[in-house]
Amino acid sequence: MTVTIIRRLMQSLLVVVAMSLIVFVGVSSIGDPTYMFVSPDATHEEIARVKETFGFNRPIWERYVYFVEGALSGDLGKSYMFNQSAMHLILQRLPATLELAFAALFLAVFLGIPLGLYSGLKPDSPFSKLIMTGSIVGFSLPTFWVGIMLILIFAVMLGWLPSTGRGDTVEVLGIRVSFLTWDGLRHLILPAFNLALLKISLVIRLTRAGVREAVHMDYIKFARAKGLAPSRIVGVHLLKNILIPVVTVLGLEFGSLIAFSVVTETIFAWPGMGKLLIESIQTLDRPVIVAYLMLIVFLFVIINLIVDLIYAMLDPRVRLAGRRR
Amino acid sequence: MTRPPFAQVLLAGAALLSLSMSASGLELAEENTLTIGLSSEATAVDPHFHTLTPNNQIAAMIFDALVNQDETQQLIPGLATEWKPVDDLTWEFKLREGVKFHDGTDFTADDVLCSFERAPNVPNSPASFALYVGNKKVTKVDDHTVHFSTPEPYPLMANDVSNIAIVSDETGCNATTEEFNSGKATTGTGPWKFVEFIPGDRIVLDANKDYWDGAPAFDKLVLKPIKSGPSRVAALLAGDVDMINDVPTTDIQRLEGDDNVTLAQGSSNRVIYLHLDQFREDSPHITAKDGSKIKNPLLDLKVRQAISKAISREAIRDRVMEGQSILAGQLLPKGFFGVSENLKPVEYDPEGAKALLAEAGLPDGFKVLMHGPNDRYINDARILEAVAQMLNRVGIEASVETMPRSVYFTRASQGGPGETPEFSLILVGWGAGSGEASSPLRSLIHSDGPANRGRYSNPEVDAVINEAMAAVDDDKRQELLAKATEMAINDGAIIPIHYQVNTWGLKKGLSYEPRTDEYTLGQSVTRDAD
């Protein structure tokens, strides 16, 4: 197991180094951001000053070396636009994004699995058909459109929920969270649902497929024959076996929930990292883009590691295979 | 195991829900808060860090300048009550007495001196205020009089001074940008006091009840960045915000018909225009129709005039802008200092355009690829597409390439060989920050203009602009600026299309005086009398 983890970590390090090069060169080749920054009536001297200050007049390799030097000492650069450490800016907004991603994950698990189970166990009931049709809709509608529709229906027409923004926050262990206040929770519902919609549909389908396959297995039949309560058959024997693919997929999808909540955050004006990223791209605030992408690479590496570990907990054979190597 | 019946849980939840909903509703009504949804966000609350509209607009709420700009950018007394030139090189500003900073300290000449010292020197500024401070020397005469002097006569002294926010010499002048963002140094004299700044989420301000120009109509101001246009409109309709700026043109009609919303609309100081390559014999994106090289036709005044005549400004206003624009015949709309009385928008005349092209020796037209941004001005890409279609109608085979502004402006300014402008015919906009005609003349028309992306160069026009910039007498300068504008426009230096119209949406019962500089200021929002 330890060897496996170490090997995985080494591989990850390589990925991080390669990504840093790709990201840095890619972002730098978009062009010189000077004209994005300076006031339109800036003089030639001012334009020269900005180029000098931020090093836009230096060759790219020189800037990369400078970046790597900083990165090794834990400094991924300073935002041009905000004059703050890029990492600080991102971490400042991480709690909001994590909160949204966890809320979406929560919805995906606690709506997706029960609905999937139901439609897997009773495939012919009308409700199951409704669930399956609903999941197709969830798959195929674009997030930005659903987001706007949610706002129109629940905020503008019905007035039940607030349309945009994050609600009141309270500090827990120095982190601002909003799901503990009523106002915060109300603000969280629509964006979380919008972000979760695709994942809910995915989980429903995965669960249903797993259930349909497993109910005909011998061990389920045997458990039935033994006279076990249906709740125990479903809750213990069935669920445990169908959860492995669901956990794998959710793990990967959780990464994308965090990394690519951009659309949802923009529509709901959610003050998270995605919104920061999209604004940084629009203003060519390179250090923030680079730091963000590096963080996401790092995040995916960690998530994949955690998924492997959960795997091992759910399925003892995985752990044994690791030891044998 | 007994479970609480599902229905009961639901009921209890619903009861709780309705209870807390009514409670929060009451709270909001009592607080007298104004919440505004803004399309863009300030990068800092440091008033000297970054000269950018959202930043300057926050600064104008928390701080004052010596001279303020009213809603049509006319100069009005701010922290200075009067100003006048005492000789050719020196201006005297009399400071307002009895003004206090938010922390209770007095405003004096020392605050002015150190603010002008700090403004051009903020480290790592992406767009520095050095532009407005320049080579001005500030000296204190007494506690309530300061002198500004320049090596040469400088008529725009008060315009420049109106851009520099005055911070306190005790807390603000030696502070870093971070200390402003945290609120530690954010002590101004303005109508609002800083409460908190949560980047990406909100800026909260409290009313300054002792403001020298009268307290704001609200006790508290919350500014929320809502970048997406439809979301901003939805937030207004849902009542989550009381006011929004930048209403998308497609939503204006719908909001006009809504009983709970009023709109505030007014002309902006921003002209949308075409800039034409006038410095190269061989322009990179222009060819003959068969693709062979030709001499840059834009060098010929007749061709420039033909392009102008080929554009139906009315059609662009009515179809592309949903009626939300004002036809342009020069650099600034009527009413601004230095505009010409004689220039009118060019009439749509496709036959005249064809005739002019024929006179220029191009009866079959030519081929041109036009460039423009697609996320900078209101409907920018669609305007350019419309222009291209109109050019096609008179025989100029025009096609369009648009791109995000982050790429566009660099290429348009210096993308070509030797850092020359890369494109041949481009769509751009210009907002006159100073609120008078010298701003576009100096930047777009003058041979040395930093935003002269067509490299138009006419020594006669340059001479008139230079003369205007040395004329301290207002009447004389006004006349010279108008003259330079006429010379440049008649010479086809640029082709103006329209002036933007700014639209704010407000909850019924609130009013806003539309501003030409596109700022959204909390202190200018008032309640209608019942």
Tens digit of pLDDT for each residue in B360-379?
A: 998 888 999 999 999 889 99
Which chain B residues are closer than 8 Å to A44 by Cβ? 448, 450
Q: In which region does residue B139 sit, left (phi positive, over 0), alpha (psi from -120 to 50) or beta (all else)? A: beta
Q: Which of B124, B128, B413 sits opposite A35 (nearest CB)?
A: B413
Mutate to test the interface with A, among B6, B52, B128 (most CBs of A within 10 A): B128
Query: How many CB atoms lie under 10 A from the CB of residue B344?
Result: 11
Q: Which helix (H) or strand (E) holds B503?
A: strand B494-507
Contacts of B326 (CB under 8 A, 6+ apart): B267, B317, B333, B498, B499, B501
Contact assignment for B405 to A30 by CB distance below 8 Å: no
Of B130, B228, B406, the CB nearest to A33: B406
Q: Is the pLDDT confidence value at B3 over 60?
A: no
CB contact at 8 A, B510 and B262: yes
Residues from chain A that touch B125, judged by Cβ atoms under 8 A, are 53, 83
CA gap B510, B212 in Å, rounded: 23
Q: Please name the helix (run of DSSP H) or strand (run of DSSP E) that holds residue A253, with its range, or none.
A: helix A239-259
Cβ distance B51 to A39 under 8 Å? yes
Q: Say if residues B204 and B42 touch (Cβ distance below 8 Å).
A: no
Would you kindly state where each structural domain of chain B is located, as residue ranges?
267-500
Range with lowest mean pLDDT among A241-255, B45-59, B264-278: A241-255
Phi, psi of B25 (to 5 degrees): -60, -45
Read off the amino acid at residue B10: L
Please report, as a single letter, which amino acid is at residue B39.
S
- Report which of residues A62 and B222 the model is more confident about: B222
Residue B141's CB is within 10 A of a number of other CB atoms, namely: 14
Give the C-alpha separation, B379 to B104, whole Å. Answer: 47
Chain A residues with beta carbon closer than 8 angstroms to that of B232: 164
Question: DSSP assignment of A183-198, as one string?
Answer: HHHHHHHHHHHHHHHH
Distances in Å between the Cα of B254 and the Cα atoms of B257, B258, B259, B431 are 5, 7, 10, 28
- Cβ separation A82–B43 shorter than 8 A: yes
CA–CA gap between residue B439 and residue B269 (Å, rounded): 11
For residue A32, give the amino acid letter. Answer: D
Could you say which architecture CATH assigns to the domain B267-500?
Answer: Roll (3.10)
* A271 closest CB neighbour out of B200, B238, B443: B200
Best probe of the B interface among A30, A41, A99, by most B CBs < 10 A, is A41
Q: Per the CB < 8 Å rule, is A93 touching B199? A: yes
Residue among B339, B331, B303 nearest B445 (CA): B331
Residue A89 Cα distances to A250, A287, B322, angstroms: 27, 11, 39
Asked if residue A213 lies in contact with residue A207, where contact means CB atoms within 8 angstroms, the answer is no
DSSP strand pairing (B90-95 vs B80-87): antiparallel
Place of tokens 């601002």: A176
The secondary structure of residue B473, as a DSSP letter, is S
CB nearest B177 (choices: A47, A83, A165): A83
Residues 6+ away with beta carbon under 8 Å from B485: B330, B331, B338, B339, B340, B343, B437, B441
How far apart (Å, rounded) are the C-alpha atoms in residues A119 and A128?
A: 4
What is the separation, in whole angstroms, between the first and last Cα of chain A?
8
Q: How many CB atoms lie within 10 A of CB A172?
A: 11
Residue B238: which of A43, A148, A156 has the nearest Cβ?
A: A156
Which is more confident, B173 or A3? B173
Q: Which residues of B touch A83 (CB under 8 A)?
A: 43-44, 49, 123-125, 177-178
Residue of B246, B198, B488 lying closest to B378 (CA atoms): B246
The percentage of chain B sitting over the pLDDT mark of 90, rounded to a whole number, equals 65
Residue A317 is predicted with a pLDDT of: 66
With 0-12 CB in 10 A as exposed, 13-18 as middle and 19+ as buried, what is B184?
middle
Give the CA count within 13 Å in the CB-facing half-sphere of B39.
21
Q: What is the distance, to the nearest Å, from the Cα of residue B396 to the centroid of all Cα atoms in its chain? A: 33
- Cα B82 to Cα A79: distance, rounded to the nearest angstrom: 40
Q: In b/e form, how buried is each residue of A127-160, taking b as 16+ CB within 10 angstroms?
A: ebeebbebbeebeeeebbebbbebbbebbbeeee
User: How many separate domains does chain A show?
Assistant: 1
**B105 Cα distance to chain centroid:** 33
pLDDT at residue B168, as a whole number: 92
- Dihedral angle sign, alpha carbons of residues A137, B238, A273, A101: negative
Best mutation target among A50, A54, A146, A164 (most B Cβ atoms within 10 Å) is: A164
Mean local confidence (pLDDT), B158-184: 90
CB contact under 8 A, A31 and B127: no
User: Of B267, B413, B246, which Cα lies nearest the Cα of B339?
Assistant: B267
Interchain pair A80, B237: CB under 8 A: no
A237 or B139, greater pLDDT: B139
pLDDT of residue B347: 93
Which residues 59-98 of A have a C-beta within 8 angstroms of B?
Answer: 78, 80-84, 89, 92-93, 96
Residue A31 resides in a domain: no
Beta bridge partners of B398: B368
Rounded to 5°, the CA angle A316-A321-A323 comes to 100
**Average pLDDT for residues B276-295, to the nearest whole number?**
90
In the structure encoding, which two tokens stand for residue A266, read together? 């923009």
Q: How many CB pairs under 8 A join A and B?
A: 159
B379 DSSP 8-state letter: T
- CA separation for the pair A167, B182 (Å, rounded): 20
**Residue at A116: amino acid letter:** G
* Radius of gyration, alpha carbons of chain B: 26
B1 pLDDT higher than 80: no
Q: 3-state DSSP call for residue B340? A: coil
Instruction: Tell me, letter by letter, the H, E, C secondary structure of B267-297.
Output: EEEEEEEEEECCCCCCCCCEECCCCCCCCCH
User: What pTM was computed for the model?
Assistant: 0.83
- A159 and B CB contact within 8 Å: yes
Instruction: Please give the residue range of the domain that contains residue A208.
Output: 93-314
Which residues does chain B have within 8 Å of residue A89's beta carbon, measured at their own beta carbons?
199
Q: Which residues of A touch B50 (CB under 8 A)?
A: 81
State the CB neighbour count (10 A cutoff) for residue A249. Answer: 16
Provide, as residue numbers in chain B, all residues whose Cβ is less than 8 Å from the Cβ of A283: 406
What ipTM, to 2 d.p.?
Answer: 0.79
pLDDT digits (tens, 9 = 90+) for B488-521: 999 999 999 999 999 999 999 999 999 998 899 9
Can you read off the two tokens belonging to residue B4?
A: 């609480």
Strand partners for A176: A171
CB-CB neighbors (< 8 A) of A32 in chain B: 410, 414
**A138 in a domain, yes or no?**
yes
Phi, psi of B432 (to 5 degrees): -80, 95
Q: Do B131 and A46 touch (CB under 8 A)?
A: yes
Q: How far is A278 from chain B (nearest CA, A)?
A: 11
pLDDT computed for residue B286 by the predictor: 93
Whether B275 has a pLDDT exceeding 90, the answer reads yes
Q: Which residue has the tokens 């090093």?
A: A55
Per-residue pLDDT of chain A (325 residues; tens, 9 = 90+): 677 777 777 887 888 888 888 988 888 887 788 888 888 878 888 888 888 888 888 888 888 888 888 888 878 888 888 888 888 888 888 888 989 999 999 998 899 888 988 888 888 888 888 888 888 888 888 888 888 889 988 988 888 888 888 887 777 777 777 887 888 888 998 999 999 888 899 899 888 888 888 878 888 788 888 877 778 777 777 887 788 888 888 887 887 888 768 888 988 988 888 888 888 888 888 889 988 888 888 888 787 777 777 776 676 666 544 444 4
Which has the closest alpha carbon to B202: B163, B241, B247?
B241
The pair of structure tokens assigned to A168 is 């009141």
Tally of CB atoms within 10 A around A267: 28
Nearest to B282 by CA among B303, B260, B266, B298: B298
Instruction: Kindly give, in sequence order, each residue whose CB lies less than 8 Å from that of residue B393, ignoring residues fewer than 6 positions away.
Output: B310, B350
For residue A123, what pLDDT is reported?
A: 82
Tell if the CB–CB gap between B127 and A42 is shorter than 8 Å: yes
More confident: A14 or B423: B423
Record: contact A41-B443, CB cut-off 8 A: yes
CA atoms within 13 A on the CB side of B54: 23
Output the pLDDT for position A293: 87
- Reference B162, options B84, B95, B49, B68; nearest CA is B68
Please state the rounded mean pLDDT for residues B188-214.
92
Q: Average pLDDT over chain B, rounded to whole?
A: 89
- CATH number of domain containing A150: 1.10.3720.10
Q: Among partner residues A31, A53, A82, which is closest to B407 by beta-carbon distance?
A: A31
H-type helices in B368-494, by residue range? 380-393, 405-414, 438-440, 459-469, 474-490
Rounded to the nearest angstrom, the minimum Cα separation between A45 and chain B is 9
Contact A53 B407 (CB under 8 A): no
User: CB distance from A53 to chain B under 8 Å?
Assistant: yes
Say if the Cβ atoms of B50 and A272 lie within 8 Å.
Answer: no
Q: Would you call A127 helix, strand, or coil by DSSP?
A: helix
The DSSP 8-state label assigned to residue B176 in this structure reads -
Q: Per residue in B60-100, pLDDT tens?
A: 999 999 999 988 888 999 999 999 999 889 999 999 999 99
Task: Decide the pairing of beta strands B367-373 and B425-431.
Answer: parallel
Q: Which of A216-230, B1-15, B110-124, B440-454 has the lowest mean pLDDT?
A: B1-15
pLDDT at B156 exceeding the cut of 80: yes
Interface touch B430/A266, C-beta < 8 Å: no
Nearest to A243 by CA among A267, A207, A194, A217: A207
B235/A269 Cβ within 8 A: yes
Q: Alpha carbon B150 to chain centroid distance?
A: 27
Q: Among partner residues A36, A155, A276, which is closest to B406 by beta-carbon distance?
A: A36
Classify B127 as helix, strand or coil. Answer: strand
Q: Please give the DSSP secondary-structure letter assigned to residue B77.
A: E
Task: Tell me what pLDDT residue B101 has.
Answer: 93
Query: Which residues fall within 8 angstroms of residue B332, CB to CB, at 6 or more apart?
Result: B269, B271, B338, B339, B432, B436, B437, B440, B499
